[in-house]
């Protein structure tokens, strides 16, 4: 079946965003006077749990009983503040696309392919990234955006990729998913998509043996023949 669309994860795939997310979390924790601080190693482990609010719950479940606990409502408020801080970091221009991303999307559009997003992150974070890296709103860069705040279950569940396919109106076999994490690979495979992985700084130790392709970057000389 001919290729019709490319579906991209966001964090780690389009750009190395995780350090900006980690900084935003830590600034939020300081503002809430929680005494929490996530190191690089902490965050590498926490990324195995998809979703920012879910990571906060996972982290506090490991704390001693004497430590302060946030309710679900407080976690939601703190995460909303974190999202705003993340937006401020990106608005300052402190983020670049990973090598090959912009050229691949431009080439796909020139071929008449659709391009979409399927991400665990929320819609405001997608908007922040496209405005930072392209100077445009998300729907001026992508035909469709399927985000974590639109589905019941986050990756590794296939929900967000299934939503992207529904938005595109295309069968899975005519699309390729682009990911950087093991959870993302399982999510895409659950939607019957072929998956191309470019490991990121935080996922380079993951097992990607289930992916169809694993390449270091999306630069043209690494791409499989189908994308050239």
Q: Which tokens belong to 53?
A: 């609010």
145 forms bridges with which residues in the sheet? Answer: 117
* Pairing relationship of beta strands 213-214 and 194-197 according to DSSP bridges: parallel
Kindly give, in sequence order, each residue whose CB lies less than 8 Å from that of residue 86, ignoring residues fewer than 6 positions away: 20, 21, 24, 125, 128
Q: CA end-to-end span of the chain, whole Å?
A: 16
Answer yes or no: 11 catalytic: yes
Q: Which tokens belong to 153?
A: 């279950």
Residue tagged active-site, from 11, 159, 180, 206: 11
- 198 close to 217: Cβ distance less than 8 angstroms: yes
Spatial distance between the Cα atoms of 83 and 70, rounded to a whole number of angstroms: 17
Spatial distance between the Cα atoms of 39 and 147, rounded to a whole number of angstroms: 26
Answer yes or no: 149 catalytic: no
Residue tagged active-site, from 9, 159, 180, 206: 9
Q: Which residues are catalytic?
A: 9, 11
């Amino acid at each position: 079946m001919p290729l019709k669309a490319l579906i991209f994860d966001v964090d780690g795939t389009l750009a190395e965003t995780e350090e900006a997310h980690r900084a935003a979390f830590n600034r939020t924790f300081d503002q809430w006077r929680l005494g929490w601080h996530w190191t690089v190693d902490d965050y590498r482990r926490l990324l195995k749990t998809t979703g920012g609010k879910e990571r906060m719950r996972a982290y506090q479940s490991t704390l001693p009983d004497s430590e302060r606990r946030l309710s679900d409502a407080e976690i939601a408020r703190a995460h909303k503040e974190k999202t705003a801080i993340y937006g401020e970091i990106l608005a300052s221009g402190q983020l670049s696309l990973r090598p090959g991303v912009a050229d691949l999307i431009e080439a796909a559009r020139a071929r008449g392919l659709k391009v979409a997003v399927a991400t665990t992150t929320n819609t405001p974070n997608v908007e922040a990234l496209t405005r930072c890296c392209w100077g445009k709103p998300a729907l001026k860069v992508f035909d469709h955006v399927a985000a974590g705040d639109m589905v019941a279950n986050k990756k590794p569940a296939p929900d967000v990729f299934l939503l992207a396919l529904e938005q595109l109106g295309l069968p899975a076999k005519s699309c390729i998913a682009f990911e950087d994490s093991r959870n993302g690979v399982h999510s895409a495979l659950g939607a019957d998509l072929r998956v191309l992985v470019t490991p990121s700084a935080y996922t380079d130790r993951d097992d990607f043996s289930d992916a169809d392709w694993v390449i270091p970057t999306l630069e043209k000389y690494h791409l499989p023949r189908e994308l050239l």
